[in-house]
Structure 1
Amino acid sequence: MSDLGVLSYYLGIEVRQGKEALKLSQSAYASKMLERSGMSECKPCVTSMEERLKLTKASTATNVDAILYRSIIGSLLYLVHTRPDIVFVVGYVSRFMKDPREDHWAVVKRLLRYAKGAVDQGIYFPKTGESRL
């Protein structure tokens, strides 16, 4: 076993260590995910989901590519490790992976637009003398 120095990148998670805090983010992973989904040039939005949005499994909208939908949801599930602000929306849209429809895909696209606007966000752990966050 050898010492590789201060941890800076591990499994797609960027680690920035300073005297005041520790920050975990996945900006490179989020950028690659946006490229794979064809949303790298999209216009960012401020919120991750519309307010009071109701989706159902019995939607009558047209089907979308289930493989692409599942792939993007899987990528978003990994992005959740450092982005707790999108946990609810990712969990909500993952319910429709069996038979994704156009209205489900619209919510995923909005979530990708939100991720585009907040690529550099992550989890921030301040270093304090106490053992709590």
Structure 2
Amino acid sequence: MATCFRKSNLGMLSYYLGIEVRQGKEALMLGQSAYASKLLERSGMTEYKLCVTLMEERLKLTKASSMAKVDAIIYRSIVGGRRNLVHTRSDIAFVVGYVSRFMEDPREDHWATIKWLPHYVKGTVD
């Protein structure tokens, strides 16, 4: 049984599944700056001020929070978008994983933490 392969030349890979690929002679750079900017725009957070810290220091969140509930659908949407950003942004992986624990029943303190993240992402989008 003969196998036939068709040869094609699509050129250098530049974009794949939301990840921008820049290839050089000595390095391969992956990024998601366009995706990060789109997330900020879609969630109405483009006017946020820049921030260089990722999360409040020594922050303790619990599932047994007594704060008011927030809209779980919006919370999940924002956290889910940030989870996709983690592919090339390992610097935000801890915070995204931490706030993901509260997606079942998000509260005001959880929401305040997830709102901190766009400040940081905007300041480090590139």
TM normalised by structure 1 equals 0.87
Q: Confirm or deny that 1:82 pairs with 2:70.
A: no
The structure in which a higher percent of residues are strand is 1
Computed over aligned residues only, the root mean square deviation of the Cα atoms, in angstroms, reads 1.0
Q: Secondary structure at the match of 1:96?
A: coil
Greater C-alpha radius of gyration = 2
CA distance in 2, matches of 1:58, 1:64: 14
| Alignment partner, residue 57 of structure 1 | 63
Letter in 2 for 1:60: S
CA distance in 1 between counterparts of 2:13 and 2:42 reads 27
Residue identity opposite 1:76 in structure 2: R
- How far apart, in 2, do the equivalents of 1:35 and 1:103 lie? 23
| TM-score when normalising by structure 2 | 0.91
- Which of 21, 34, 41 is 2:40 aligned to? 34
Structure 1, residues 53-90: CA drift from partner, whole Å, max 9, x if none? 00011111111111011011111111000000111100
Give the aligned residue type for 1:53: L
Q: Letter of the 1:36 partner, please give it.
A: R
Is the counterpart of residue 72 in structure 1 residue 78 in structure 2? Answer: yes
Matches within 5 A, 1:1-133: 2-120=8-126
CA distance in 2, matches of 1:34, 1:58: 29
Instruction: Work out the CA distance in 2 between the residues paired with 1:63 and 1:37.
Output: 19
Q: How far is the alpha carbon of 1:10 from its aligned partner?
A: 0.7
Moved over 3 A (4+): none
- Structure 1 residue 47: deviation in Å? 1.1
Question: Alpha-carbon deviation of 1:36?
Answer: 1.4
Write the distance in 1 (CA, Å) between the matches of 2:106 and 2:10.
44
Shift in Å, 1:20: 2.4
